[in-house]
Amino acid sequence: MNNYQIITDATCDMNQEILDQKDILVMPMEIVMDDGQIFQHYPDFRNFSADDFYEELKKGNLAHTSQITPAQYLSFFTSILEEGKDILYVCFSSGMSNMAANAKNAAAELEERYPGRNVIAVDSLGACGGEGVLAVRAAENRENGMSIQENAEWLENNKLNLAHYFSVDDLMYLHKGGRVSAATAIVGSALDVKPMMYVDDEGKLLVNSTVRGRKASLKKLIAFTQKSIIDSENQILYISGAECREDAEWLRKKVLEKIPCKDVIITTVGPVIGTHTGPSLICLFSFGTGRKPVSDIAGVIRRLQ
């Protein structure tokens, strides 16, 4: 009943040791640098270390990402089916990419080729460590005896309760990725404005509010979480950070002080997400009452746009 493989993709930003422990496979994704370098990103950073990648971004050597194609899904999934395992795939948000549609099309084709087998693609409507958290929970559900159909249903029923709260220290990368206007990036940077962002129920990254200063933005991540989290004592919370380990460690310490929980784990934001957000991205993930954060801060960014 539980002979199925859980798969996610390289946008999951989950530590390799956790993926190994939970028996989760990750589909790599291609990164193309402006200087012509092309590499496949894996969670163990075998082809390009996180430090080296973010150093290249800071030098102005920008990167571009490629989504996983239907043909790539067919090839990867077929290899798992040939091993005798069914597939539960936790995919990057359809609100930010066509990958979920590509995966679902490949799944439908393979179920026709392999009658009686299950190939289920779940649109996480999430990104970064949030997608990774869902994959980890799916693995834990499998360990607890859930069938593949029960597990897929659990993911569908609970994914919108996984809050994704984000902030960055540098607005220029969000501008380059089309998330904010040039005027917003320039004026916001001059005023030391930090956007507080979240992933909404459609899987899209939105600006909720802003604060002044990096430390204030980290404190606001905690405040958002305090307002939404439920059953915190039974949760492991996750922080995903790009090239900002010191900030991630500070945030972890404060979360443990403010929110009773089992643990807080820090993961590294890889180049697929980091390409679009820059080295300063930091995120906090937890299960709660919903995704949209409650904020009493004026929408400075919205006024600037």
Q: Domain end: 128, 159, 190, which one? A: 159
The mean pLDDT value for 204-233 works out to 94
One-letter amino acid at 121 equals A
Same domain, 177 and 294: yes
Q: Which of helix, strand or coil describes residue 199?
A: strand
Whether the Cβ atoms of residue 124 and residue 93 lie closer than 8 Å to each other? yes
At 297, is the pLDDT very low, low, confident or very high (cuts 50, 70, 90)? very low
Q: How far apart are CA 271 and CA 53, in angstroms?
A: 7
Residue 270 neighbours by CB distance under 10 Å: 25
At 300, is the pLDDT very low, low, confident or very high (cuts 50, 70, 90)? very low
Residue 131: give its domain's CATH number: 3.40.50.10170
Same domain, 117 and 257: no
Share of the chain above pLDDT 90, in %: 82
Residue 24, domain extent: 4-159
pLDDT tens for 184-196 read: 555 556 567 888 9
Q: Which of helix, strand or coil describes residue 7?
A: strand
Q: How far apart are CA 285 and CA 128, in angstroms?
A: 10
Does pLDDT of 179 surpass 80? no
Same domain, 167 and 154: no
Give pLDDT, residue 1: 54
Kindly report the average pLDDT of the chain as a whole number. 91
Residue 257: give its domain's CATH number: 3.30.1180.10
* Closest to 28 in 3D by CA, of 296, 270, 283, 284: 270
In the chain, how many H helices and how many E strands? 12, 13
Same domain, 187 and 152: no
Q: Domain end: 125, 159, 193, which one? A: 159
Whether the Cβ atoms of residue 163 and residue 278 lie closer than 8 Å to each other? no
pLDDT tens for 108-150 read: 999 999 999 999 999 999 999 999 999 999 999 999 999 999 9
More confident residue, 17 or 187: 17
Give pLDDT, residue 214: 93
Please state the pTM of the whole predicted model.
0.92
Q: How many domains does the chain have?
A: 2
Same domain, 258 and 187: yes
